[in-house]
Structure 1
Amino acid sequence: MLQNLGSFLVLPVTGPTQAEAMCFFNDISIKHLNGYRPCEPWRNTLMFFSQTVPSARHAAIALALIHRNYLECHSNGRMYQPPALKDRLPDKAPLLHYNRAIQLLLNPESDDSAEITAVTLLVCYLFTCFDHLAGDDVQAMKHLRGGVALSRNTTLNCCTYGDAQSSGVHTTICQVTQQIRRLDMQAAMFLVDWTPANIQETSLSDSTFWSLDQAADHLQVLVAQAMRLRNTEQQISPTGTMSPLPSSPKDIVLAQLGTWSSLFENLLQQGSPSESDVATHLLVSLLRLQHTIAWTLLRGYGPGREMDYDNFLPQFQQCVALAGEVAAAHQRYSGSSRPTFTPEIGFIPVLYIIGVKCRHPKVRREVLTILRRQPIREASWDSISTARVVERVIEIEEGAAGEQQMVPYMEQIPVWRRIEALSYIHIPCGQSADRVDITYTFCGQEGLHVESLMIERTERHIMSNN
């Protein structure tokens, strides 16, 4: 693909800082960005554009600098504090490169509309990653929404890029569009009011999967539909009640999840030369994990049915086992227990759901162990913050001290003590410990409950489980 882009010139670096940042981007950042679904052509594209296109170069440097800061803070035993606003960055270099990339995008050197579109989409992707790491999730989602809109318009007009050189550019546009579409679908896992584009585009009745990637793309649409159905109906209210899901859409998604599972298992039975790869094993376990939790959520959801989640203990136990496999494979893939960041959604939201909906004391504590094994950030999700929220839910529902004491059986948690609806927001606090604000309601009770939780230092969380 890259050879079809015409002649190019590798941009020179202007100093040791840029050189180090580009090495970090090529060796570390690119590997982490799509760690759950590695794609060598996509990594080559990121590397190519960051080396040859000025705006992409500055966006890549900005991301590399803030990514390195994130890793170094953890390595030095300090807790990484993503600033609430980017102008609070102690080192202004990332922001300078970020702004320079914007300036170059607004004044493109090329007159080729296809090339401009490809570069703009790629920078939107890098900016989305940057802003998540910078703690500005609102801005990250603005970049993502802009990338989605541009990619949809480009898809409708792709036939205009007909010359020989544009064929390579069009391939790049398709690559980055696929990445942006994935992030768009996955955003439904952490934003209640997010509606992904093309969320209705799935039909599995007469299909077969020819690759894990295709199976993954179909599943993320179904998971987005499941979360969208649940989120639109689960509105926290002063009465603590929730409306039932519309039976027809729920049944349709459940049927599609069943079809997906059959097609997926058929694909795995066919076998492939890469079955033993760490990345392949990780993806297979991750897909099974996400499918199982989506199915469980839809089957168990409904007003006055919080106690029914106890009936899904086998599914929750299966999910925890799969999450443990994914976490272990992810750790092997990343090469160490060092922190990782990816804009993709993996297993953290699944563990969060299990931690707050499965009342089995041992299962919950297994969730905490996995979350605290390695500091991981998946878009807006942070494993350490998520563990603290789950820990607090355990304290509230078990009426004890979390990990120190626990009820022997989940049936001992009465319905009136169970949290029915819960939301939380992570609030960076500069140099002090971070804060998580949680809002929740109890089953069958009126009124909202609001608490603020302080996040302890990451190293203390990790050491407590070693």
Structure 2
Amino acid sequence: MAHVASAMVLCQQWNRDFQTHSHASEAIASVILLLAQLDSQVRQIFLVQGLPVPWTTQFILPPSEGCFMSLDEAHVSLEVKVNNNALKLLTSGIDISTPEALAKKEDCLHEFRRWNSKLKTYLAVSPHERGTIAANVLYLRRSYAKVMLSLDPTKGELAHDEFIEDYAQMLDLASRILEGLNDYSTVNSDSGSKPTKRHFSVESTVTETLFLIGVHCREPTIRERALELMRLYPRREGMCGTMLALSLGETLTGLERTACQTSPPGSCSEGPWVCADHRVTKIQCKDVSYQKVAILLRTAGEQRRGSEGKWFTFHKTW
């Protein structure tokens, strides 16, 4: 991951340089959006590899007191001021229950509520923006932020059961976004035929959300639909690809389901669909080769018994 760290240091230098070019504010804002999303993705990758993040980032946006002037402005603000700051906290490795961490989390929640209020004000005077792909992407990223900031860490994986309705709404948004992008690609293709099966984008739209649902939502219908969407719409967004996420999600789902089904009667703990003991609570990965990655899946029960868990090897396909 050394090359990633070097790239992010360079990105941070670009971010500082951009502040001196106010004449290109729209283009700069778009670049800052992508850099913030990339930074957020890489932090999560370093976390599952058990590596400290060897850089610091501080994305700076011009001060804005009034309502947003466009959905693009709202999107940049969400990714920089809410999502990226939240992930800096949640992937820092500190105990989230400490007073200092709780205060930082409350700051993120305050910024999220402030952002949400500004978005409502903008949409009230721009109703034509509702229902567009851009708006749905924004709603999806907003829901992603809400879940991240609202999960109760003291409840472990059971905390996700409180967000089933949110996950269902996120899944509906992701489906509409993917169907809309697919229709757009078909209409704009030269041959008029179906678009290519794989899609690449530098911007984060649905991949992180589908992975979140596929791994952490235990309601079977919602979970399976998230995996199905990754299967139907293979894509790579930044550093996140659906094909590896799909393989991991399918393996994890099968592991949890089998663990509960094969357990002796009365041995499962609390929790619907998959009991707390058999839920995967740790995902850790390490490179095996240029083409393969090994991923450790460990359940709460295995952790309590001092067991390492199970390693699985996947191809680094996107």
TM bin (shorter chain): 0.7 to 0.9
Q: Does 1:267 align with 2:122?
A: yes
Work out whether 1:182 is the aligned partner of 2:33: yes
The amino acid of 1:319's aligned partner reads M
| Distance (Å, rounded) in 1 between the aligned partners of 2:248 and 2:68 | 38
Cα offset for 1:216?
A: 0.4
> For residues 307-360 of structure 1, what are the alpha-carbon distances to aligned partners after superposition, in whole Å with 9 as ceiling and x for unaligned?
121111111111111111111122123334412212221110111111111111
Cα distance in 2 between the residues matched to 1:176 and 1:267: 21
Q: Give, in whole Å, the separation in 2 of the partners of 1:196 and 1:328.
A: 37
The counterpart of 2:83, out of the listed 213, 218, 223, is 223
Which runs of 5 or more residues in structure 1 are unaligned?
1-136, 159-169, 235-241, 403-408, 459-466
Give me the TM-score of the superposition, normalised by structure 2: 0.77
The Cα of 1:189 is off from its aligned counterpart by: 3.1
After superposition, the Cα gap between the structure-2 partners of 1:200 and 1:171, relative to the gap in structure 1 and judged at 3 Å, is closer
* Whole-angstrom CA distance in 1 between matches of 2:317 and 2:282: 28
- Correspondence for 2:149: 298
Equivalents in 1 of 2:260, 2:234: separation in Å?
24
Does residue 180 of structure 2 align to residue 329 of structure 1?
yes
Q: Distance in 1 between matches of 2:137 and 2:54?
A: 23
**DSSP-derived class of the 1:303 partner:** helix
- Evaluate the alpha carbon distance shift between residue 399 and residue 343 of structure 1 in structure 2; reply closer, same or farther with a 3 A threshold: same
Q: Secondary structure at the match of 2:272?
A: helix
**CA-to-partner distance for each residue in 1:68-101, whole Å, 9 max, x for gaps?**
xxxxxxxxxxxxxxxxxxxxxxxxxxxxxxxxxx
**For 1:144-293, what aligned pairs fall within 5 Å after superposition?**
144-153=8-17, 155-156=19-20, 158=21, 171=23, 174=25, 177-192=28-43, 193=53, 197-199=57-59, 206-221=65-80, 222-233=82-93, 243-244=96-97, 246-271=101-126, 275=129, 281-293=132-144
- Judge conservation of contact 1:425–1:436 (CA < 8 Å) in 2: yes
Percent identity between the aligned chains?
A: 18
1:451 correspondence with 2:311: yes
The one-letter code of the counterpart of 2:223 is R
Alignment check: 8 A CA contact 2:153 2:159 kept? no
Quote how far apart the aligned CAs of 1:374 are: 1.9
Per-residue deviation, residues 21-73 of structure 1 (Å, max 9, x unmatched): xxxxxxxxxxxxxxxxxxxxxxxxxxxxxxxxxxxxxxxxxxxxxxxxxxxxx
Once residues 427 and 272 of structure 1 are traced to their aligned partners in structure 2, the CA distance between those partners, rounded to angstroms, is: 51
Contact 2:296–2:311 under 8 Å retained in 1: yes
Give the aligned residue type for 1:225: N
Equivalence for 2:158: 307
- What amino acid sits opposite 2:294 in the alignment? D
In structure 2, how many angstroms separate the alpha carbons of the residues matched to 1:142 and 1:456?
A: 21
In the alignment, residue 327 of structure 1 is paired with which amino acid?
L
Alignment: residue pair count: 287
CA contact (8 A) 1:358 1:364 kept: yes
Contact between 1:188 and 1:228, CA under 8 Å: does it hold in 2?
no
**Higher relative contact order by CA 8 Å / sep ≥ 6: 1 or 2?**
1
Aligned to 1:114: none
Equivalence for 1:22: none
Larger Rg: 1 or 2? 1
Shift of 1:447: 5.0
Q: How big is each residue's C-alpha offset from its partner over 1:169-194, in whole Å with a ceiling of 9 and x where there is no partner?
A: x746x565434322221124322237
Residue 421 of structure 1 corresponds to 282
Q: Could you say what secondary structure the match of 2:218 adopts?
A: coil
Unaligned stretches of 5+ in structure 2? 44-52, 187-193, 262-269
CA–CA distance in structure 1, aligned partners of residues 257 and 66 of structure 2: 46
**Cα 1:360/1:203, change in 2 over 3 Å:** farther
Inter-partner Cα distance in structure 1 for 2:272 and 2:11: 47
What do residues 216-270 of structure 1 show as CA deviations (whole Å, max 9, x unaligned)? 0110011111222111137xxxxxxx65361111112112212222221222221
Task: Report if the CA contact (8 A) 2:215-2:252 is conserved.
Answer: yes
The letter for the 1-side match of 2:72 is: D
Distance 1:315 1:148, change over 3 A: same
Instruction: Kindly indicate whether the alpha-carbon contact (under 8 Å) linking 2:143 and 2:166 is maintained by their aligned counterparts in 1.
Output: yes
Tell me, yes or no, if the aligned pair for 2:282 and 2:297 is still in contact at 8 Å. Answer: yes
Deviation of the 1:198 alpha carbon: 2.4
2: CA distance, partners of 1:392 / 1:201:
41
Asked if structure 1 preserves the Cα contact closer than 8 Å seen for 2:220 and 2:273, the reply is: no
Q: Partner letter of residue 249 of structure 1?
A: K
Confirm or deny: 8 A CA contact 2:252 2:297 kept in the other structure.
no
Report the Cα distance in structure 1 between the residues aligned to 2:26 and 2:2, rounded to whole angstroms.
Answer: 24
Alignment partner of 2:294 out of 409, 434, 437: 437
CA contact (8 A) 1:424 1:438 kept: yes
Change (3 A) 1:456 1:260: closer
Q: Distance in 2 between matches of 1:293 and 1:401?
A: 28
- Taking a change above 3 Å as real, the CA distance of residues 440 and 230 of structure 1, as seen in their structure-2 partners, is farther
CA distance in 2, matches of 1:456, 1:139: 17
